[in-house]
């Protein structure tokens, strides 16, 4: 298996029964920021995302739209899910579809190996099934319905009635793995994070695991069970395997050994599948368990989890068309503590855009470039003798780089940005205190002016490198204005302060133009 030096990160694969909303985009951006950071830090990095295209939910949606499930999946992937990646500037290395041959064939290979090893048997099952979750529900997972569903039991997540199903299926001996999973959680406390999700999973497993129904006979849209084609594989058992089928399992042993195990970024509502069923499957197959499962919180709009069915779904382009992809990425990574629930509002987005991006970072960059242009004809000056204020900036530069990298290692993206913003605030305060515009009026203080602007340019360049994984478009533009040597993504992040310039700055348009606001939930009007 992997020697631990690679960073293989995945998002969940998303159902193609509908178009993406900002909850999906939030997961994509978080995973992308982590991938970009590690990639730019020089770590061998692989970033996987994709779509989940089998199961009863997809079949019903396709049928309701008068097309085959494959036609529906192809349409949604082409018109919605892959365009999402461009909309929010995602740098994935691979895109897996569960209808890919490389996936379906190796799902069957995996299943056959478990069957041959005695981990799969036949049995009858009756239970309450949520098509939205594609999961049999326990009584504790159900709540009393309201409105049109009053008097019925509904899924606590989807708020739709469950269906009573009775089938003769194949079962996976998941109960065999109750203790091995508890041993895993104890020996590796970081396997499930954050702590709230870890505690919930441990409590669930301690109650004892039951065997898992892993096939369906009532419909035929899915991967055929290899020894019995009257059954299709349960959609979650199929979907979870994407993380290894995309990494070469069954057809590229070298690639699989190089990439696996992975870090899985998922919503907390599906953490149980990833932290219980998935490692049990891998243990049964003799494959190393994932490196980590991180269950982030929900995006809330009006106090409710983001959902198309509840009319709280906001399309990512409703934000990016006005604010741009960088602002979208920055806002969701900075405004929400990664791992906790977070609330979205247009007012908060607009306020943070103006205060932190436009005034805080964007104005800092513009001022520094403009002063070098005005006072030194665009040539970055050599520094004179340093003073305490200059040394303080350089000290903070180095500390911020280390602190941000350490936060990323903990998957604490919001903490990394908070650290980086210490340098933004320090540089803004430094320029205010040093008053280069006043120094420029006194020829005898030329050396001091040179030192101040040199220090400011170096700090802004370090910020550009550090923020490149989060706001790649703006930092790429700033990099060109600073005369950065090579591509900004080639500058090693862990020594960001060693970036190089060709010695001259170039004109810089506002990185984050001012936006007019409209009161209410409709969002802002337009950029100026």
CA atoms within 13 A on the CB side of 427: 28
Q: Kindly give the pairing relationship between strand 120-130 and strand 94-97.
A: unpaired
Kindly state the helix (H) or strand (E) to which residue 294 belongs, with its residue range: strand 292-296
Report the distance separating Cα 56 and Cα 62, nearest Å. Answer: 10
Is the CB of residue 192 less than 8 Å from the CB of residue 201? yes
Q: What CATH fold (topology level) applies to the domain 7-119+171-301?
A: Rossmann fold (3.40.50)
Report the distance separating Cα 521 and Cα 348, nearest Å. Answer: 11
Report the pLDDT value the prediction gives residue 154, as an integer from 0 to 100.
82
Phi-psi region of 175 (alpha: psi -120 to 50; beta: other; left: phi over 0): alpha
Which pTM does this prediction carry? 0.91
Catalytic residue from among 130, 137, 231, 268? 130
Give 120-170's CATH code, choosing from 2.40.50.140, 2.40.50.1040, 2.60.40.420, 2.170.220.10: 2.170.220.10
Residues at the binding site for Zn(2+) are: 130, 133, 155, 158
Report the pLDDT value the prediction gives residue 124, as an integer from 0 to 100.
80
Return the bridge partners of 155, or none.
142
Tokens for 517, please give them: 């606001």
Report the distance separating Cα 157 and Cα 298, nearest Å. Answer: 12
Instruction: Write down the architecture of domain 318-498 according to CATH.
Output: Orthogonal Bundle (1.10)
Of the chain, the end-to-end C-alpha distance in Å amounts to: 53
Q: Note if 24 is an active site residue.
A: yes
Report the pLDDT value the prediction gives residue 147, as an integer from 0 to 100.
79
Residues at the binding site are: 130, 133, 155, 158
Q: Note if 310 is an active site residue.
A: no
Query: pLDDT tens string for the chain (528 positions)?
Result: 445 578 999 999 999 988 999 999 999 999 999 999 999 999 999 999 999 999 988 999 999 999 999 999 999 999 999 999 999 999 999 999 999 999 999 999 999 999 999 999 998 877 777 776 766 667 777 788 887 878 788 877 767 787 776 778 999 999 999 999 999 999 999 999 999 999 999 999 999 999 999 999 888 999 999 999 999 999 999 999 999 999 999 999 999 999 999 999 999 999 999 999 999 999 999 999 999 999 999 988 877 776 655 556 799 999 999 999 999 999 999 999 999 999 999 999 999 999 999 999 999 999 999 999 999 999 999 999 999 999 999 999 999 999 999 999 999 999 999 999 999 999 999 999 999 999 999 999 999 999 999 999 999 999 999 999 999 999 999 999 999 999 999 999 999 999 999 999 999 999 999 987 544 445 554 454
Catalytic residue from among 38, 57, 103, 133? 133
Q: Note if 21 is an active site residue.
A: yes
Residues with Cβ < 8 Å from 485, sequence gap 6 or more? 499, 500, 501, 502
Tokens for 443, please give them: 């020829």
Would you kindly state where each structural domain of the chain is located, as residue ranges?
7-119+171-301, 120-170, 318-498
Report the pLDDT value the prediction gives residue 160, as an integer from 0 to 100.
78
Between 316-323 and 325-334, two packed helices, what is the crossing angle to 10 degrees?
110
Return the bridge partners of 224, or none.
232
Q: Note if 155 is an active site residue.
A: yes
Report the distance separating Cα 472 and Cα 478, nearest Å. Answer: 10
Report the distance separating Cα 183 and Cα 253, nearest Å. Answer: 28
């Amino acid at each position: 298996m992997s020697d631990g030096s690679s960073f293989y990160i995945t998002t969940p694969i998303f159902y193609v029964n509908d178009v993406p909303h900002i909850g999906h985009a939030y997961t994509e951006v978080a995973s992308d920021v982590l991938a970009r950071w590690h990639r730019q830090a020089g770590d061998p990095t692989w970033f996987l995302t994709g779509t989940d295209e089998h199961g009863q939910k997809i079949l019903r949606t396709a049928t309701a739209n008068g097309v085959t499930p494959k036609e529906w999946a192809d349409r949604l992937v082409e018109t919605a899910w892959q365009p999402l990646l461009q909309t929010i500037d995602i740098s994935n290395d691979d895109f897996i579809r569960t209808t890919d041959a490389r996936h379906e064939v190796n799902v069957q290979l995996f299943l056959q190996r478990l069957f041959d090893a005695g981990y799969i048997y036949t049995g009858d099952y009756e239970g309450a099934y949520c098509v939205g979750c594609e999961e049999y529900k326990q009584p504790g997972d159900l709540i009393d319905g309201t409105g049109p569903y009053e008097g019925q039991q509904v899924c606590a997540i989807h708020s739709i009635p469950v269906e009573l199903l009775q089938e003769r299926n194949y079962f996976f001996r998941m109960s065999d793995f109750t203790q091995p999973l508890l041993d895993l959680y104890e020996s590796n406390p970081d396997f499930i994070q954050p702590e709230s999700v870890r505690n919930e999973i441990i409590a669930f497993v301690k109650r004892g695991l039951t065997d898992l129904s892993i096939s369906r006979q009532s419909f035929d849209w899915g991967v055929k069970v290899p020894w019995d084609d009257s059954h299709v594989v349960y959609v979650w058992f199929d979907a979870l395997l994407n993380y290894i089928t995309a990494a070469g399992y069954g057809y590229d042993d070298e690639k699989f050994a190089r990439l696996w195990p992975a870090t899985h970024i998922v919503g907390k509502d599906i953490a149980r599948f990833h932290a219980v069923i998935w490692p049990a499957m891998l243990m049964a197959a003799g494959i190393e368990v994932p490196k980590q499962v991180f269950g982030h919180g929900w995006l809330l709009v009006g106090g409710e989890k983001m959902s198309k069915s509840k009319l709280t779904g906001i399309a990512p382009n409703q934000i990016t068309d006005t604010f741009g992809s960088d602002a979208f990425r920055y806002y969701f990574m900075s405004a929400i503590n990664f791992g906790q629930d977070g609330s979205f509002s247009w007012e908060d987005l607009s306020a943070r855009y103006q205060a932190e991006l436009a005034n805080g970072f964007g104005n800092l960059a513009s001022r520094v470039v403009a002063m070098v242009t005005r006072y030194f004809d665009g040539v970055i000056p050599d520094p004179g003798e340093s003073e305490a204020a200059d040394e303080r900036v350089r000290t903070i530069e180095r500390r911020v780089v280390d602190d941000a990298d350490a936060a990323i290692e903990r998957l604490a993206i919001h903490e990394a940005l908070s650290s980086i913003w210490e340098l933004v605030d320090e540089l803004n305060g430094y320029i205010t205190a040093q008053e280069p515009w006043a120094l420029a009026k006194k020829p005898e203080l030329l050396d001091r002016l040179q030192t101040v602007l040199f220090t400011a340019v170096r700090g802004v360049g370090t910020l550009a490198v550090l923020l490149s994984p989060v706001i790649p478009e703006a930092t790429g533009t700033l990099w060109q204005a600073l005369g950065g040597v090579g591509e900004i993504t080639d500058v090693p992040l862990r020594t960001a302060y060693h970036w190089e310039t060709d010695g001259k700055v170039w004109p810089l348009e506002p990185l984050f133009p001012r936006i007019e606001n409209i009161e209410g939930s409709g969002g802002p009007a337009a950029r100026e």
